[in-house]
Structure 1
Amino acid sequence: MRARRVARPRLLDVSWRARLAVVLLLLTISAAFLTDLGQSRADAVRCERFTSQSEARRVVGAPAGKRVVVIGDSWSAGLGLDDAGDAWTSRLSGQVHVDAFSGSGFSRSASPCDGSWFAARAARAVAGGADLVVIAGGLNDVDQTPEAVRAGFERVMRSVQGPPVVVVGPAAAPARERGARRVDAQLALLAGRAGAAYVSTIGLDLPYLDDGLHLTPAGHRELGDFVAESLVDLGVA
């Protein structure tokens, strides 16, 4: 009787497949690392540019009148305008001090730039005193959780205690309309609980740049006039 052959494990094939799997894993990790590194570098460059613009944007309006401190995002910074001084804040009356940082919001993680969220800048913004504080934003919070927005809102309110506070919510920018409506509703509720006045801009039909996010010069004028009139109606202008 012929002896039966016993099949041996194909160790070579198993070893080759294992090595291939390791190589593919390393390539995937390397690609992810390079992507993150590239994103980090891009964020760093953008944050540096926004910081420079923020420093340059700390302007004062009329030499007389109430000292109005505006804490805001790219709209207050005038991003996309040929002259940042034409931002909507220029339509307000009084000594208008603008502390704006593009990409920032109420929540800490709205921007990847360290120290840019509203609460981190609020104490510095009102350090010179304020007769009125206007906190304007919300479009950069559309991808944040309600808990993050609430925590950031409560913290910024603690930092500006004393003068009247008016919160100006996000408009329905086409690029972020659905999220803007959600944030608008939440901010209105939070402002009411905190005893702050709330100005909703969600119903304004404003003209936008091609990005569907930032305002045209005409849009800034319309928004600024609307907020200025609202402040008069509230009796704080």
Structure 2
Amino acid sequence: MVAVALLIFRIEREAAVPIACSKWADGVDHEHQPMIAEQVGPLVYFVGDSYTGGSPMDAGVQWHEYVARDYMWSGRNLGVGLSGYVQRGTNGTTYLDRIESSRLFAADMVVVSGGLNDVRRTPESLIVPAVRSTLCRIRDLAPDVPVAVLSVFAAARDYGISRMNTVLEAEARRIGAAYIDVTDVLEQSAGSVGSDGTHPTDIGHRVLAESIGPMLPRPRGSLAR
């Protein structure tokens, strides 16, 4: 327990002041590449796991789609089941892999969520550097737009999830991003979690949208709510 307390203290102390992430020399002039055509409303990227990408527990419309419709944003879904900051999902990619292959430089806001797969399947020593690298890369590619980091989505909170949320909050502050804790949202509404005990139902996705939407920053170029 002493070691855990020291780790939490170190993370919080290091993240007290936002820092500029180092630029990655990828050889691409992101500032002068064309914007995505046929865009309606601010372009918001949603990076996440199966809570974002969808699961058999829902009918095909996820929480971020409700949010995008409610606020008249153009959403881009970068959610993949079983993935995380460290863990590779059903298509073999991590969050960072999908960020690298996206056109994130065109985003008006980036929303990153999840981490449950990392909590369940990854040694803690690997999580902090992976979260840091992922969020720094987002800030490098989208330096002038709001970034929101959501807590772990889960049907119930436990010690591992709380530890992950501590890391997410600290690393969000490090890059000047908003941190939003939504871990307990699904516990508050009956019928929100499917028969697998993990993933949200259609009701759950609507509940998440109604909770998350008002807490998100306003994307670049959006109208006042």
Under a length normalisation based on structure 1, what TM-score does the superposition of the two structures give? 0.65
Residue 174 (structure 2) aligned to one of 176, 182, 193:
193
Aligned-residue CA RMSD (Å): 2.4
Distance 2:55 2:154 in 1: 17
Q: Which residue of 1 aligns with 2:116?
A: 139
Q: What is the CA-CA distance between 1:78 and the residue it aligns to?
A: 1.4
Report the AA paired with residue 131 of structure 1: D
Distance 2:205 2:149 in 1: 17
Residue 129 (structure 1) aligned to one of 106, 125, 128:
106
| Unaligned residue ranges in structure 1 (runs of 5+) | 1-61
Tell me, yes or no, if the aligned pair for 1:173 and 1:180 is still in contact at 8 Å. Answer: no
Structure having the higher Rg: 1
Alignment of 1:102 with 2:84, yes or no, is: no
Under a length normalisation based on structure 2, what TM-score does the superposition of the two structures give? 0.68
Residue 73 (structure 1) aligned to one of 46, 49, 52:
49
Distance 1:97 1:214 in 2: 21
Q: What is the CA-CA distance between 1:173 and the residue it aligns to?
A: 1.8
3-state secondary structure, aligned to 2:213: helix
3-state secondary structure, aligned to 1:91: helix
Residue 40 (structure 2) aligned to one of 64, 67, 71:
64
Q: Which residue of 2 aligns with 1:220?
A: 205
Distance 1:113 1:90, change over 3 A: closer
3-state secondary structure, aligned to 1:70: strand
- Structure in which a larger fraction of residues adopt helix: 1
Report the AA paired with residue 79 of structure 1: S
Q: Which residue of 1 aligns with 2:163?
A: 182
Q: Which residue of 1 aligns with 2:67?
A: 92
Q: Which residue of 2 aligns with 1:83?
A: 59
Q: What is the CA-CA distance between 1:165 and the residue it aligns to?
A: 1.1
| Unaligned residue ranges in structure 2 (runs of 5+) | 1-37
Distance 2:159 2:58 in 1: 29
Tell me, yes or no, if the aligned pair for 2:57 and 2:195 is still in contact at 8 Å. Answer: no
Q: Which residue of 2 aligns with 1:35?
A: none
- How many matched pairs? 171
Tell me, yes or no, if the aligned pair for 1:105 and 1:111 is still in contact at 8 Å. Answer: yes
- Give per-residue Cα distances to partners, 1:30-75, cap 9 Å, x unaligned: xxxxxxxxxxxxxxxxxxxxxxxxxxxxxxxx95211000111101
Distance 1:166 1:126 in 2: 18
Distance 2:90 2:194 in 1: 24
Report the AA paired with residue 55 of structure 2: L
Report the AA paired with residue 155 of structure 1: S
Residue 93 (structure 2) aligned to one of 116, 121, 124:
116
Distance 1:114 1:83, change over 3 A: closer
Determine what percentage of the aligned residue pairs are the same residue: 27
Distance 1:131 1:101, change over 3 A: same
Tell me, yes or no, if the aligned pair for 1:115 and 1:121 is still in contact at 8 Å. Answer: no
Distance 1:187 1:82, change over 3 A: closer
Q: Which residue of 1 aligns with 2:155?
A: 173
Task: Flag as ranges the 4+ runs of structure 1 deviating above 4 A.
Answer: 112-115
Q: Which residue of 2 aligns with 1:10?
A: none
Q: What is the CA-CA distance between 1:152 and the residue it aligns to?
A: 1.4
Distance 1:177 1:201, change over 3 A: same
Distance 2:57 2:196 in 1: 13
Q: What is the CA-CA distance between 1:228 and the residue it aligns to?
A: 0.9
